[in-house]
């Protein structure tokens, strides 16, 4: 697995593809130190990985911005609130998948929507890694998903103060959550906790994936 410290995450949007390949390595020490892998795997589409990092940062900024609209509100969130605050992030993830031939998902161990539950062992390992390493912002790995080989980028999602309106104490969840999500696990969070992660799978056969998404 190739780690991204906070410093690396900021730099990756500016560095060229060749530096990207040299910088992300399994031997990365604790941030902000760097290590160089003796045999880093070759990425078929390194520019796609750099683009994915940038797009996910924009997506997370959207999530933070929309959630901040709840700060200072004295009214309990409703289903309409969720449509205005949470849905745009999910819709943007779908759009990124269709436009680029990627698979963009939000995944969490303590999920609210069952569609966001970990789907395989890679998901579980990635979540455990983020949980064990609070300073780790993102990393990538080579994986096979749905019989396709590719590169998968993971980026952590932390709980912010505005998230607690819907993800705080179990007994204080909005009524629409209690009614609409009987199997809800996304509660009892504190600020700074690991909420989940974004996972972007970039298949090696990008053109085929784009064509499939278009059709």
Residue 93: CB partners within 8 Å, gap ≥ 6?
59, 104, 105, 106, 198
Among the listed residues 122, 106, 121, 135, the one whose alpha carbon sits nearest the alpha carbon of residue 195: 106
> What is the tens place of the pLDDT at every residue in 135-175?
999 999 999 998 999 999 999 999 999 899 899 999 999 99
The beta strands (E) that lie in the chain are given as 2-4, 103-107, 138-145, 148-158, 194-203
What does the pLDDT read at residue 137? 96
pLDDT at 47 over 80: yes
pTM: 0.81
Give the whole-angstrom CA distance, residue 108 versus residue 174.
20
Residue 186 pLDDT greater than 50, yes or no? yes
pLDDT in tens, 22-32: 334 333 323 33
Q: Which residue has the higher pLDDT, 179 or 35?
A: 179
Q: What is the DSSP string of 173-196?
A: S-HHHHHH-TT----S--TTSEEE
Share of the chain above pLDDT 70, in %: 80
At residue 24, the pLDDT reads 40
pLDDT at residue number 214: 66
Instruction: Tell me the per-residue pLDDT of 58-104, one tens digit each, with 9 for 90 and over.
Output: 999 999 999 888 777 778 888 898 889 889 999 999 999 999 999 99
pLDDT at position 18 over 90: no
**Residue 211 pLDDT more than 80?**
no
Confidence of residue 130 (pLDDT cuts 50, 70, 90): very high
Nearest to 164 by CA among 83, 87, 72, 62: 72
Three-class HEC string of 4-24: ECHHHHHHCCCCCHHHHHHHC
Of 1 and 78, more confident:
78
Are 25 and 36 contacting, i.e. CB atoms less than 8 angstroms apart? Answer: yes
Q: What was the pLDDT predicted at 16?
A: 37
Burial state string for 26-48 with b = 16 or more CB within 10 A and e = fewer than 16: bebeebeeeeeeeeeeebbbbeb
Whether the Cβ atoms of residue 202 and residue 49 lie closer than 8 Å to each other: yes
Q: Is 198 helix (H, G, I), strand (E, B) or coil?
A: strand
Q: State the average pLDDT for the chain.
A: 83
Looking at residue 25, its pLDDT comes to 37
């Amino acid at each position: 697995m190739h780690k991204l410290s906070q410093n690396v995450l900021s730099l990756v949007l500016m560095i060229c593809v060749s530096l990207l390949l040299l910088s992300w390595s399994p031997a990365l020490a604790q941030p902000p130190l760097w290590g160089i892998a003796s045999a880093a795997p070759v990425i078929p589409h390194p520019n796609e990985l750099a683009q994915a990092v940038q797009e996910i940062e924009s997506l997370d900024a959207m999530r933070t911005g929309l959630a901040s609209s709840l700060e200072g509100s004295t009214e309990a969130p409703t289903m309409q609130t969720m449509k205005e605050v949470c849905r745009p992030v999910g819709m943007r993830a779908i759009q990124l998948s269709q436009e680029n031939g990627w698979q963009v998902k939000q995944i969490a161990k303590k999920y609210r929507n069952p569609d966001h539950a970990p789907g395989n062992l890679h998901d579980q390992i990635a979540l455990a890694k983020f949980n064990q390493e609070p300073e780790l912002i993102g990393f990538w790995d080579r994986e096979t998903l749905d019989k396709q080989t590719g590169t998968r980028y993971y980026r952590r999602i932390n709980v912010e103060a505005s998230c607690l309106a819907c993800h705080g104490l179990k007994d204080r969840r909005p009524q629409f959550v209690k009614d609409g999500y009987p199997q809800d696990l996304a509660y009892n969070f504190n600020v700074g906790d690991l909420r989940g992660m974004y996972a972007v799978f970039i298949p090696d056969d990008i053109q085929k994936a784009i064509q499939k998404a278009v059709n």
